[in-house]
């Protein structure tokens, strides 16, 4: 009887996602609603508040894109000269030849603070983040912070902009609202991915530990053979996947690679994990949704003729050998994204933004009818709320 009750308790806990840490960076946190009676808060009511004035901002711009240079210069000059803030940028930005020849940038160049990806720790130095680019820029910003992520505000200056809801035209007003604490938030869960190597299980070397915002992908890599992957849920073997690989994604990532592989889309406020096979050999294995509180374990099957490869949000690609394992859980360190005023994360409000982005893509590929300004071929996808 006690064993049955213990199993029931464990199962009940596994159905719930871990409570997200309500603090983002050194001085940002979720505003507590004094009128709340229940401990569960409506995601649409989440707001950002500061318990001390933000002083530092990290500005990340899309690389190798000349169209972003002028907005970047405008933004950093305004933050330094008008708002008196400490601005951090990547070291590579200071080495950009186009910026070095920009007379406006030279006025503030010496006042910028720099960091080097993978070498400098920004965990307790940044109060909030501003991204200039597309979704890839935002994913890169998330990877920079493997613990608490400061609040992120993303301006749409890239080719794909489902996660970047703001136009740059009125950036002064939008950034001021954030600095004054008048910011609606969307909390996007992240996945904690831990690689345990067979030959390092008894060593003191810490395992590879990464957080992803979109997905972790296990595939066959350069091998011509099908991958053979064992999937475990809370320690129990669920299935063995034969195919090109496996995608484990967050609700945010469900509208990226996963939906292209045939998965359903999950709203970002739903506590869940999406598991999607890539071109499975058996048609009986379809994409599945599991509770956010479970632990997934992925390993190369002993019967596999080849190794597998794993990547995290498209980066840090590594090989998985026989005996290695990848553990995936929902992290407590969610990412807080600044939500556009008047929008509701519980509605599919990104449709207009998707159509706009589709037209930009169409111009690159020559599929836009210049007479009617209609776009062909891209609006069939439905990643509306990203």
For 343, the token pair is: 């929008």
CA distance 332 to 23: 11
Looking up tokens 């350069």 gives: 222
Comparing C-alpha atoms, which of 317, 313, 293 is closest to residue 208? Answer: 317
Choose, from 96, 117, 127, 135, the residue flagged as catalytic. Answer: 135
Element (DSSP H or E) covering residue 135: helix 135-144
Backbone angles phi, psi at 54, to 5 degrees: -70, 135
Taking residue 284's Cβ as centre, other Cβ atoms within 10 Å add up to 6
Comparing C-alpha atoms, which of 331, 191, 190, 235 is closest to residue 11? Answer: 235
Q: Would you call 117 a catalytic residue per the annotation?
A: no
In contact, 282 and 205? CB cutoff 8 Å:
no
Separation of CA 68 from chain center = 21
The residue length of the chain stands at: 386
Comparing C-alpha atoms, which of 186, 206, 209, 196 is closest to residue 46? Answer: 186
CA distance 218 to 330: 17
Residues serving a catalytic function are 135
């Amino acid at each position: 009887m006690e064993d049955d009750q213990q199993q029931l308790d464990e199962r009940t806990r596994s159905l719930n996602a871990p409570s997200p840490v309500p603090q983002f960076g050194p001085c940002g946190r979720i505003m507590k609603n004094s009128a709340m009676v229940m401990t569960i808060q409506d995601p649409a009511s989440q707001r950002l508040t500061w318990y001390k004035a933000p002083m530092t901002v990290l500005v990340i711009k899309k690389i190798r894109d000349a169209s972003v240079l002028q907005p970047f210069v405008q933004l950093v000059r305004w933050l330094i000269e008008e708002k008196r803030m400490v601005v951090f940028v990547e070291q590579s930005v200071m080495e950009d030849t186009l910026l070095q020849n920009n007379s406006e940038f030279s006025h503030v160049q010496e006042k910028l603070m720099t960091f080097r990806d993978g070498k400098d720790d920004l965990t307790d130095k940044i109060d909030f983040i501003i991204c200039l680019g597309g979704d890839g820029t935002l994913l890169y910003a998330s990877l920079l912070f493997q613990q608490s992520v400061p609040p992120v505000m993303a301006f749409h200056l890239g080719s794909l902009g489902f996660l970047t809801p703001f136009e740059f035209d009125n950036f002064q007003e939008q950034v001021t609202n954030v600095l004054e604490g008048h910011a609606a938030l969307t909390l996007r869960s992240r996945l904690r991915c831990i690689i345990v190597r067979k030959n390092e299980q008894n060593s003191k070397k810490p395992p590879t530990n990464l957080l992803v915002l979109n997905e972790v992908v296990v595939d066959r890599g350069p091998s011509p053979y099908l991958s053979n992957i064992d999937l475990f849920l809370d320690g129990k073997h669920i299935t063995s996947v034969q195919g090109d690989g496996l995608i484990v994604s967050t609700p945010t990532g469900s509208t990226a690679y996963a939906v292209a592989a045939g998965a359903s889309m999950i709203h970002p406020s739903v506590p869940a994990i999406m598991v999607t096979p890539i071109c499975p050999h058996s048609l009986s294995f379809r994409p599945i949704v599991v509770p956010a509180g479970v632990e997934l374990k992925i390993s190369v099957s002993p019967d596999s003729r080849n190794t597998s490869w794993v990547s995290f949000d498209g980066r840090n690609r590594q090989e998985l050998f026989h005996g290695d394992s990848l553990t995936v859980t929902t992290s407590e360190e969610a990412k807080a994204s600044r939500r556009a005023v008047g929008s509701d994360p519980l509605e599919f409000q990104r449709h207009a933004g998707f159509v706009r982005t589709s037209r930009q893509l169409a111009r690159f590929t020559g599929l836009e009818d210049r007479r009617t300004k209609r776009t062909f071929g891209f609006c069939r996808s439905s990643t509306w709320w990203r």
